[in-house]
Amino acid sequence: MAGASLLTLLDDISVILDDVSVMTKVAAKKTAGVLGDDLALNAEQVTGVKANRELPVVWAVAKGSFINKLILVPAAILISAIYPPLITFLLMCGGLFLVYEGAEKVIHRFWPHAIPDDEEQNARRQANADETVDLVAFEKEKIKGAVRTDFILSAEIIVIALGATATATLLQRSLVLSILAIGITVGIYGLVAGIVKIDDVGLHMMEKDGKFTQKVGKVLFAAAPKLMKFLSIAGTLAMFLVGGGILVHGINFLHHEVEDIAHLTGIFESFTTALLNGVIGFIIGAAIVALLTVINKIRNKDAPSTH
């Protein structure tokens, strides 16, 4: 009897692990867009940081990301158990944030005078150029901002993953979210650490003997800034595709309209759906940017002068 009970227990564990494995793959696939955005955003955080400070900054943000997920995973599971509709609301808030941030980047890039300058990047450039500035203290503030951004993106990833495990048991859901949270953090920040050091590796290889090694070094050194630019563009596109997809899916009439239009394109249905999600995401994001810009201008106008 004891042997049979043990075999039954092992069989149950095996079934649970198989289910968890399948759900983790599904959840990872659904969060792929946000993961691309997360990777691009975090790689961008160390742009302009001095070479000897890149890895310490990445490691500091990674530790903050682990703490974020240590808070978010139990909170998400608790919310889904107590009041599941709140998950949808949080998803929509996350979608609005993504399209807003994406639109802000695009507008700042092509219409720089439409919104205020990015004071954060300007401050970073000035700090790097000024030898009297305590970069460690300055970076602490930068790290805090990066960790805050990571918190929002991590929340979005956890919520999307939670939606993919809606029919799972509490144990399965907990395992999927925990595995995904750990895997994402290690993977994202491992890649970021590798990406930011590509130029250093290339430079090191260029100083070595051997023409082939030097050529590879030159390729890596030249590719580093291009890769960072590509990641930045890919991350911005991901914001519109993922954020727009979340918003479209959450607004019934938009969801049906997009489905109907995409269905007319036949074999290009998936591409059309993604394109429409992205366009709608940009329109909503641009509207939010415009609204907040007007509000800020009114506030600044009404604020008492200090002169």
Is it the case that residue 238 has pLDDT exceeding 80? no
pLDDT at residue 49 in the model: 62
> Tens digits of per-residue pLDDT, 140-187?
777 777 787 778 778 878 877 777 776 677 777 788 888 888 888 888
**Measured distance between the N- and C-terminal CA atoms of the chain, rounded to whole angstroms:** 87
Cα separation of 161 and 28, whole Å?
Answer: 7
- CB count, 10 Å around CB of 215? 12
| Confidence at residue 182, expressed as pLDDT on a 0 to 100 scale | 86
Domain boundaries, the chain: 16-232
Alpha-carbon gap, residue 43 to 68, rounded angstroms: 18
pLDDT at position 12: 46
pLDDT (0 to 100) of residue 9: 47
Q: Which pLDDT belongs to residue 279?
A: 92
Share of the chain above pLDDT 90, in %: 5
Q: How many CB atoms lie within 10 A of CB 7?
A: 10
Q: Which helix (H) or strand (E) covers residue 226, if one does?
A: helix 211-250
DSSP state of 46: T
pLDDT in tens, 4-35: 554 554 444 555 555 556 556 655 565 665 66
| pTM, full prediction | 0.68
123 vs 52, 128, 138, 169, CA distance in Å?
19, 9, 9, 48
Residues 43 and 85: their CA atoms lie apart, in Å, by: 34
- The pLDDT tens digits of the residues spanning 190-232 come to 888 888 788 888 888 888 878 888 888 888 888 877 887 777 7
